[in-house]
Structure 1
Amino acid sequence: MNCTGDLWADVTVPGSIRWPLAERSVARQVTELLDGLPERFVIAGLSLGGVIAMETALAAPDRVAGLCVMSVNGRATTAVQHEAWRAWRDRLAAGGTPAELQREILPSLVPTAVRGGRPDLVDRVLGMGAQTTADRLDAQLAQQLSRRPLLDRLAALDLPTLVVSGTADPICPPVFHDEIATAVRGARLVSVDAGHLPPLERPDVVRAVLDTWLAEVAGGQRQR
């Protein structure tokens, strides 16, 4: 949420599509993806994008050749989360900006130990918030409010699945990824020394993991 295509810029593989999250419910976003994507595809997503990726795989498992999720939560959303999301929708309606949100949550996006030595990373993260429109962020907040619990439905999936966890992610800690990897049969869990945004913070590691996994998916291999 509140990110742009720059999130994936350093790890994007040839032929990939970076799809914006612009619909106002998870269900509508999934429908838009399935209407616009090729008949067969690999899907990856981070945070809210990871939720959308899992829901897409559940909606059309015969079309999804592989599923990759990062920095994601499969649990039911909470009253505290709903209150925060609604408060931000109210702030946007009153003139608040996505850039303000990004600056406020920066400590949760980039680990404290990293921020001081990575001004480039901080600038890119803040830049994504500055480049996101209020309408786009409001749509994403509406998607958050429409989420359904995933964990009890993931056992229905039987496809190559990669789960990437940032070891220093305070928003979606490693235990969330353990749960998802356990729920999806045969899923591979990879831990990266990073916070909530591994593709930006550790693109070298994430790209290597993705390249290896995608080669296995293309070759019909699957580690169990």
Structure 2
Amino acid sequence: MAYIDLPTHRMHYRIDGDRAGTAPWLLFCNSLGTDLSMWDAQAEELSRHFRVLRYDRRGHGLSSAPPPPYTLSDLGHDVIALLDALAIERAHFCGLSIGGLTVQWLGIHAGARLDKLVVCATAARIGTPESWATRIESVKADGLAVLRSATAERWFSATFTARNAGTVGKVLDGFAATSTDGYIGCCAALAGADLRDDIKRITNPVLAISGDEDPVCPPSDIEEIAARVQQGRHLSLPGRHIVNIESAPAFNAALLQFLHD
């Protein structure tokens, strides 16, 4: 296992593909309450073409959790620190949900460090400060396990869950095991994140992917991102919020086409 030590926490990361080669770098950023394993299907396929870098956001997976709250700027600077530590000058970057917000923040503030951007099942603003404050109080009182059933419904369609119970169960086990501090800290980052007026500054090419039945970030949110950035396109795939798992083959094909164009 590989880690970098940052001033406030230790970050876990993984590289798939030919690390010493010349293939372009492709970086993935996971959603709230998941770890880097959510990108397993992408790493398996895309590491044939790219050096795939995944990491566990602060307070998630095997990364440690500094005391909350966090800001979106904190999450973005964690990515820059990772790129610096690995001497990566530029990378394609794909993120889902809060990971997609992190992609947008970096496109605004550090676009020169990135090449093409893929934002999935996200929005320029997710929820409201009030809704995230309610979520924080709920998690403080009852933990994450009580949210498991509702999370399953938001993240995966009933048909996919019935046919892929093992895959869904693994994702939900990871959700329930997420650090409470890490989860609350990221909820605070979401509460303070509103990039609607700033994403027009993003000059990198952007592919915005939605799940066509996503109740968290519906396709209209993704369409808005594609319309506001300077070089955006929107694609909708079958599925709910964790669309990269529910529609993995189509998702992988879309990434390959976009990144190779």
User: Comparing 41-50 with 98-107, which one deviates more in the overlay?
Assistant: 98-107
CA–CA distance in structure 2, aligned partners of residues 86 and 128 of structure 1: 18
What is the CA-CA distance between 1:214 and the residue it aligns to? 1.6
Residue 42 of structure 2 is matched in structure 1 by: 11
Q: 1:163 aligns with which of 195, 208, 212?
A: 208
Q: 1:21 aligns with which of 57, 64, 68?
A: 57
Is 1:212 aligned with 2:257?
yes
Whether contact under 8 Å (2:132, 2:188) holds in the other structure is no
User: Comparing 196-205 with 128-137, which one deviates more in the overlay?
Assistant: 128-137
Deviation sequence 1:103-134 (CA, Å, 0-9, x none): 33211111234323331332132122134222
Residue 87 of structure 1 is matched in structure 2 by: 137
What is the CA-CA distance between 1:184 and the residue it aligns to? 1.0
Is 1:47 aligned with 2:97?
yes
User: What residue identity is the alignment partner of 2:231?
Assistant: G
Q: 2:183 aligns with which of 103, 113, 137?
A: 137
- Other structure's SS at 1:2 match: coil
Q: What runs of 5+ residues in structure 2 fail to find an aligned partner?
A: 1-31, 59-65
CA–CA distance in structure 1, aligned partners of residues 183 and 126 of structure 2: 21
Residue 191 of structure 1 is matched in structure 2 by: 236
Whether contact under 8 Å (2:133, 2:191) holds in the other structure is no
CA–CA distance in structure 1, aligned partners of residues 78 and 171 of structure 2: 27
Whether contact under 8 Å (2:215, 2:240) holds in the other structure is yes
What is the CA-CA distance between 1:168 and the residue it aligns to? 0.6
Structure with greater proportional strand content? 2
Is 1:97 aligned with 2:125?
no
- The alignment's TM-score, normalised by the length of structure 2, stands at 0.75
Residue 247 of structure 2 is matched in structure 1 by: 202
Whether contact under 8 Å (1:66, 1:159) holds in the other structure is yes
Deviation sequence 1:162-196 (CA, Å, 0-9, x none): 10000010010010011001001221211101110
Residue 220 of structure 1 is matched in structure 2 by: none
Residue 196 of structure 2 is matched in structure 1 by: 151
Q: Which runs of 4+ in 1 moved over 6 A?
A: none
- Other structure's SS at 2:217 match: coil
CA–CA distance in structure 2, aligned partners of residues 56 and 186 of structure 1: 16
Residue 64 of structure 1 is matched in structure 2 by: 114
- Other structure's SS at 1:17 match: strand
Residue 27 of structure 2 is matched in structure 1 by: none
CA–CA distance in structure 2, aligned partners of residues 27 and 21 of structure 1: 13
Number of residue pairs aligned between Structure 1 and Structure 2? 211
For the structure 1 residues 141 and 192, does the alpha-carbon distance in structure 2 shift closer, same or farther, using more than 3 Å as the test?
A: same
Whether contact under 8 Å (2:124, 2:195) holds in the other structure is yes
For the structure 1 residues 79 and 57, does the alpha-carbon distance in structure 2 shift closer, same or farther, using more than 3 Å as the test?
A: closer
- The alignment's TM-score, normalised by the length of structure 1, stands at 0.86
Structure with greater proportional helix content? 1
User: Comparing 112-121 with 56-65, which one deviates more in the overlay?
Assistant: 112-121
User: What residue identity is the alignment partner of 1:36?
Assistant: L
Whether contact under 8 Å (2:129, 2:192) holds in the other structure is no
Q: CA RMSD in A?
A: 1.9
- Other structure's SS at 1:128 match: helix
User: What residue identity is the alignment partner of 2:115?
Assistant: A
User: What residue identity is the alignment partner of 2:39?
Assistant: W
For the structure 1 residues 121 and 76, does the alpha-carbon distance in structure 2 shift closer, same or farther, using more than 3 Å as the test?
A: closer
CA–CA distance in structure 1, aligned partners of residues 130 and 198 of structure 2: 23
Q: What runs of 5+ residues in structure 1 fail to find an aligned partner?
A: 217-224
